[in-house]
Amino acid sequence: MNQMTRIDPALETRMANAIRALAMDAVEAAKSGHPGAPMGMADVATVLFNRFMRVDPTDHQWPDRDRFVMSAGHGSMLVYAINHLLGYDDMDMDQLRNFRQMGARTAGHPEYGHAKGIETTTGPLGQGITTAVGMALAERMANARWGDDLADHWTYVIAGDGCLMEGISHEAIDLAGHLKLGRLVLFWDDNGITIDGGTDLSTSTDQKARFAAAGWHVQAVDGHDRDAVAAAIEAARADDRPSMIACKTVIGFGAPNKQGSHDVHGAPLGAEEIAAARKALNWPYDPFTLPEDVMTAWGAIAQRGAQARADWTTRLEGSAHRAAFLEAQNRPDAGALRNAIAAHCARIASERPSVATRKASEMALEVVNATLPNTVGGSADLTGSNNTRSKGQQSVTPGDYTGSYIHYGIREHAMAAVMNGIALHGGFVPYGGTFLAFADYSRGAIRLGALMGVPVIHVMTHDSIGLGEDGPTHQPVEHLAALRAIPNLMVFRPADAVETAEAWEIALTAPTTPSVLCLSRQNLPTVRIEDDAENRSRRGAYVLRSTPVERDVTLIASGSEVEIALAAADLLRADRINAAVVSAPCFELFATQDRTYRQGVLCDAPRIGVEAAIRQGWDQFLRPDDGFVGMTGFGASAPAPQLYAHFGITAEKVAELAKSLIEGGK
């Protein structure tokens, strides 16, 4: 055994039964929940924690702790039971008694941030596996930088059949196998049961062969034979590939009449079956009551973890990497970044390049990556199109994790979830690129990052019909609205190279909010030509061009359409109409400004929104009688300038509409 040499089998059985009892009692009390998975996987989890896991409940953020991810998040009671047994101070028995109740830390699915020892939010199936891949990758990247003394831990995942059926699991498994993430161990809860019935209703895949095909080390064990499970974990740790251990289990193990059937998957057992289970498990204690020997045994795990953490702290104090390591645990240095970005913006304002904002993003990244040591870039196989790689960024390759650029492959969903995992692990600030239209593929993970408050940065180029010939499948029209709809997500659509750099700065320093940077394929002029030191994008929207006298109309635009709004203002000026132009790079930030500021930006004159996308989401700017120039349906395949003309997103149309609104208002 790796961590302990002598195991008392009878005691370890009782340790596992404690999980089972707490799970069935809590689900019963809640009158809802999933007892099947915690009861089925109690033996595996007990072996894992009792013989291997290193966590310290008194310092749940200890960077070198092992990570445990319950990808089958509906089995949340497994996590809560274990965390109670380990003695986390925020997981007392009342939390378990109030499973799934208002205000309890014990939500229906494990929610990151609700309680210590929950490494990530799970529930939407497949997310946990993929987030864990990010954690296991971050561990190796940390190890490559700071050595075994500081980064030498494991990531363990429990996944069910559902996790393995979801498409994202394929992306995760492929990527982990390719990158040889040997510190990742996945337990497949092979219980043969899904909600609709037996897994044979919908799958015939040989999961072991599937994982082997992706380059994994694969074993199969009886998930109730604890020594076999332990031996498999030993073998998994000895292999340099990621490991999958197929654990044949009985769902709801211990409930004598219901175990092994889908009745036990997602419903309380009922008083009668619980009584029968208590008898079958030889567990004579009252609900939510634990015997002393079991508490002591679980407490020993925590003590072992505390000792490991103390040893690690000693190593850290003596380490040459101490300062760099500690710096990497925090969010980026906002002061240093401000200075670098301000100097960059001043240069842009002076040189006034005409570049696509995806190119401007690359220019900003040269500054960012030179300033911040722990950014980690990447792309879903669109590096040259997303412009996500700065000079000198080396690729992370199988077995060599010193680089800071990840080839995520054509796996948008995994990229987003892996970035969540890297950020949750700590030590790195991840960003990754794809086309904006493919936010549809990664949306599940983007949302989960927003829900958890994990500040990853999604770089999404080719952000409108402006991408041209690739046509409507690739042209976002509703994606801005759909992303703006997600709570706690900042969606940036910068107008030029200055705003692009500003967006990077805001995104990198946001403590608990992920960001999406929507960037153009096509060239755009520099519109922020005054040399001002202020990050004006922080306001979300601001007056880019004011009027000498009271304005007649306000033109509000984002991204590539700011140029059009400015040209429309020029046209209107020729007709002695005073049009102010507002640039709106981030709706979410504008919504947080006070009423006075917002009114000062928007004023009372007629307003026109200009964005090569649908109107939905513009209601904070536009009143019913205001105008909008944008899209009402899908795009088309043609060169970009022709598309803008075809869909009527032009300075002339904006000017025309402005005149008719002013006329109508008189």
Q: In the set 459, 553, 614, 651, which binds a copy of itself (CB under 8 A)?
A: 614
Task: Give yes or no for residue 125 binding a copy of itself (CB under 8 A).
Answer: yes
- DSSP for residue 592: T
φ and ψ of 407, to 5 deg: -85, 95
Give the residue among 188, 181, 237 at the shortest CA–CA distance from 210.
Answer: 188
Note the maximum CA span of the chain: 90
Task: Give yes or no for residue 239 binding a copy of itself (CB under 8 A).
Answer: no
Q: Within the chain, how many helices (H) and strands (E) appear?
A: 25, 20
E-strand spans in 234-374? Answer: 243-248, 355-356
Helix (H, G, I), strand (E, B) or coil at 516: strand
- The reply, when asked if residue 217 is annotated as ligand binding, is no
Question: Is-contact 247 192, C-beta < 8 A?
Answer: no
Task: Give yes or no for residue 643 binding a copy of itself (CB under 8 A).
Answer: yes
Order of strands across the sheet with 515-519? Answer: 405-407, 375-379, 429-435, 457-461, 515-519, 490-492
Q: In the set 12, 166, 463, 502, which binds a copy of itself (CB under 8 A)?
A: 166
E-strand spans in 383-538? Answer: 405-407, 429-435, 457-461, 490-492, 515-519, 523-524
CB of 379 to a copy of itself, least distance (A): 7
CB of 644 to a copy of itself, least distance (A): 11
- The reply, when asked if residue 162 is annotated as ligand binding, is yes
CB of 328 to a copy of itself, least distance (A): 26
Binding mask 77-116 for a copy of itself (x = CB under 8 A): -----------------------xxxxx--xxx-x-----
Q: In the set 50, 83, 131, 194, which binds a copy of itself (CB under 8 A)?
A: 194
- The reply, when asked if residue 191 is annotated as ligand binding, is yes
72 or 572: CB nearest a copy of itself: 72
Q: In the set 638, 648, 659, 662, which binds a copy of itself (CB under 8 A)?
A: 638
Residue located via tokens 């000693």: 314
Give the residue among 434, 486, 485, 442 at the shortest CA–CA distance from 461.
Answer: 434
Question: Under 8 Å CB-to-CB from 186, ≥6 apart: which residues?
Answer: 129, 132, 156, 157, 158, 159, 242, 243, 244, 245
Residue 246: beta bridge partners? 188, 220
Task: Give yes or no for residue 139 binding a copy of itself (CB under 8 A).
Answer: no
Marked catalytic residue, from 12, 111, 166, 412: 412
| Whole-Å CA distances, 196 to 32, 132, 199, 266 | 18, 27, 8, 11
At how many degrees (to 10) do helices 127-146 and 322-329 cross?
150
126 or 627: CB nearest a copy of itself: 126
Task: Give yes or no for residue 485 binding a copy of itself (CB under 8 A).
Answer: yes
| Rounded Cα gap, residues 163 and 70, in angstroms | 10
| Rounded Cα gap, residues 10 and 8, in angstroms | 6
| Rounded Cα gap, residues 92 and 85, in angstroms | 9
- The reply, when asked if residue 646 is annotated as ligand binding, is no
Q: In the set 373, 578, 637, 648, which binds a copy of itself (CB under 8 A)?
A: 637
CB of 39 to a copy of itself, least distance (A): 19
63 or 476: CB nearest a copy of itself: 476
The residues in 503-542 that bind a copy of itself, with binding defined as CB under 8 A, are none
167 or 256: CB nearest a copy of itself: 167
Q: In the set 4, 195, 320, 336, which binds a copy of itself (CB under 8 A)?
A: 195
Task: Give yes or no for residue 619 binding a copy of itself (CB under 8 A).
Answer: yes
Region near a copy of itself per CB under 8 A, out of 315-323, 337-345, 418-426, 471-479: 471-479
The residues in 446-465 that bind a copy of itself, with binding defined as CB under 8 A, are 447-448, 451
Task: Give yes or no for residue 159 binding a copy of itself (CB under 8 A).
Answer: no
For the question of residue 412 being annotated catalytic, the response is: yes
Q: In the set 60, 153, 183, 484, which binds a copy of itself (CB under 8 A)?
A: 484
Question: Under 8 Å CB-to-CB from 573, ≥6 apart: which residues?
Answer: 579
| Rounded Cα gap, residues 552 and 575, in angstroms | 12
Task: Give yes or no for residue 648 binding a copy of itself (CB under 8 A).
Answer: no
- The reply, when asked if residue 125 is annotated as ligand binding, is yes
Task: Give yes or no for residue 238 binding a copy of itself (CB under 8 A).
Answer: no
| Rounded Cα gap, residues 66 and 173, in angstroms | 20
Cα 37 to the center of its chain, rounded Å: 25
The residues in 408-447 that bind a copy of itself, with binding defined as CB under 8 A, are 408-414, 437-438, 440-441, 443-444, 447
Task: Give yes or no for residue 373 binding a copy of itself (CB under 8 A).
Answer: no
Task: Give yes or no for residue 209 binding a copy of itself (CB under 8 A).
Answer: yes
E-strand spans in 96-172? Answer: 155-159
For 276, the token pair is 């029968």
Region near a copy of itself per CB under 8 A, out of 289-297, 342-350, 523-531, 637-645: 637-645
Binding mask 20-49 for a copy of itself (x = CB under 8 A): ----------x-xx----------------
- The reply, when asked if residue 488 is annotated as ligand binding, is no
Task: Give yes or no for residue 616 binding a copy of itself (CB under 8 A).
Answer: yes
Q: In the set 64, 139, 171, 552, which binds a copy of itself (CB under 8 A)?
A: 171
Q: Which residues are annotated as a binding site for substrate?
A: 34, 265, 358, 385, 462, 470, 474, 521
Residues annotated as catalytic are 412
Q: Which residues are annotated as a binding site for thiamine diphosphate?
A: 74, 123-125, 162, 191, 265, 438
Q: Which residues are annotated as a binding site for Mg(2+)?
A: 161, 191, 193
